[in-house]
Amino acid sequence: MIEAVDLTKRYGSKTAVDNISFTIEPGTVTGFLGPNGAGKSTTMRLIMGLDKPTSGKVTVNGRPYRDLEAPLCEVGALLDAKGLHGSRSARAHLTQLAASNGIPTRRVDEVLELTGLTNVAKKRVKGFSLGMGQRLGMAAAMLGDPDVLIFDEPVNGLDPEGVKWVRETCRHLADEGRTVFISSHLMSEMAQTADHLLVIGRGRILTSGPVEEVIASATTDVVRVASPQAGELAGLLAGQGIELESPESGVLTTTTTTAARIGELAAHNGIVLHELTTQRASLEEAYLELTGGEVEYSTTSTDAAMTSHRAD
Ligand SMILES: Nc1ncnc2c1ncn2[C@@H]1O[C@H](COP(=O)(O)OP(=O)(O)OP(=O)(O)O)[C@@H](O)[C@H]1O
């Protein structure tokens, strides 16, 4: 597992990571979310020993990265897919990495197969698309068969088939009992891939927990009810102190009670219902709610910008 205690990283006067503590558990996919500049990559670099904390500490399986005896066999990371040496083939790149870490060469063919790169193993990395580079980065991360995997923006540049592959690979790795820690800006993808979330803004933890709990804590469920007796139902519910809106004829919505209560009240009073649903907010809505005040790099609204442009 990964454990951070009072972890802080400053670059001059800029505090990139501000006294954060968290535990990333085995057997789960943990999604790492936050606006641009929130400190995600810095946190991942600190975990991988590529940067030194200003204060506090972060450990992998109980030890700082630098103290791990066979680091590639304990933690693998995809941090920057662009950092590949162009003139070598994918196989040569992985073979050299395996040799310098005491990993048997046969493992190279296994990870090429796992990442779907077998057919392009002899191609120079220079000709690789962004998506192929991402796959090669993940192959390198998996080379030492580590228990802990860290992927920074793994679906960046991947086509839909590649995105699905990353999702299934992360799931599979977690189901094998490994610790999987991934960052992404694609909320719908994260909602499908992650079990747990760690959300940061301006270097601080905004919230963490199971995906469903994070969504529930930041948003409110809307109950929608459609009835041919909507007027009668509205009077009945209002009499119970339930606040209502009517977005369209014959439809009522509320955030102040449950579908079960409305169903019971309607049944008790012989009111016919055509629809009764609880609409749960999406992870994207919860994320925007959580990070609204934490965005470092923001724009004016697109509408305002376009209007002002047209007026020029
Ligand atoms: N080497 C560095 N020197 C100075 N400032 C840095 C350095 N690395 C990161 N920062 C700053 O620290 C903050 C956090 O950056 P970081 O790259 O960790 O954010 P992030 O959450 O990964 O963002 P993104 O989603 O855009 O990748 C930013 O304000 C960034 O400019």
Q: Is the CB of 38 under 6 A from ligand 1?
A: yes
CA of 134 to the centre of ligand 1 (A): 20
Pairing of strands 179-183, 29-33: parallel
Helix axes 106-114, 90-100, angle to 10 degrees: 130
The three-class DSSP label of residue 68 is coil
User: ipTM surpassing 0.85, yes or no?
Assistant: yes
* Bridging pattern class, strands 148-152 and 179-183: parallel
pLDDT of 127 reads: 81
Euclidean distance between CA atoms 122 and 47, whole angstroms: 32
- With a cut of 90, say whether residue 130 has pLDDT above it: no
The Cα 144–Cα 73 span in angstroms is 4
CA 76 – CA 44 distance, rounded (Å)? 11
pLDDT tens column, 62-117: 999 999 988 999 999 999 756 566 788 999 999 999 998 889 999 999 999 999 99
Looking at the CA of residue 42, tell me the nearest atom of ligand 1.
18
- Tokens 């998996």 belong to 142
For ligand 1, say whether the CB of 39 is within 6 Å of any of its atoms. Answer: yes
- The pair of structure tokens assigned to 15 is 């505090």
Distance 138 CA to ligand 1 centre (A): 22
Does ligand 1 come within 6 angstroms of the Cβ of 122?
no
Does 308 score more than 60 pLDDT? no
Residue 263 tokens, joined: 């169903």
Q: What is the pLDDT of residue 131?
A: 84
Q: Indicate the top mutation candidate among 9, 13, 14 to test ligand 1's pocket, ranked by most ligand atoms within 8 A of CB.
A: 14
Structural domains in the chain, sorted by start: 2-209 (3.40.50.300), 222-290 (no CATH)
d(CA 90, CA 138): 12
Residue-wise pLDDT for 182-219, tens only, equals: 999 889 899 999 999 999 999 999 999 999 999 998 99
Contact status, residue 149 vs residue 174, Cβ threshold 8 Å: no
| Cβ–ligand 1 contact at 52 (below 6 Å) | no
Name the β-bridge partners of 29.
Answer: 180
Examine the pLDDT at 2 and tell me if it is beyond 70. yes
- pLDDT for 297: 64
Report whether pLDDT(3) > 90. Answer: yes
32 contacts 43 by C-beta, under 8 angstroms: yes
Kindly report, residue by residue over 199-208, the tens digit of the pLDDT.
999 999 999 9
Residue 293 has pLDDT above 90, yes or no: no
Asked whether the predicted pLDDT for residue 132 surpasses 70, the reply is: yes
Atom in ligand 1 nearest the alpha carbon of residue 38: 21
DSSP conformational letter for 257: S
Using the mean position of ligand 1's atoms as its centre, give its distance from the Cα of residue 73 in Å.
Answer: 28
Whether residue 14 has its Cβ less than 6 Å from ligand 1: yes
Nearest CA to ligand 1 atom 8: 42
In DSSP notation, 161-189 reads: HHHHHHHHHHHHHHHTT-EEEEE-S-HHH
Across 24-33, 53-62, 74-83, 138-147, least confident range: 74-83
Between the CA of 42 and the centroid of ligand 1 the distance, in Å, is 6
User: Which residue type occupies 241?
Assistant: G
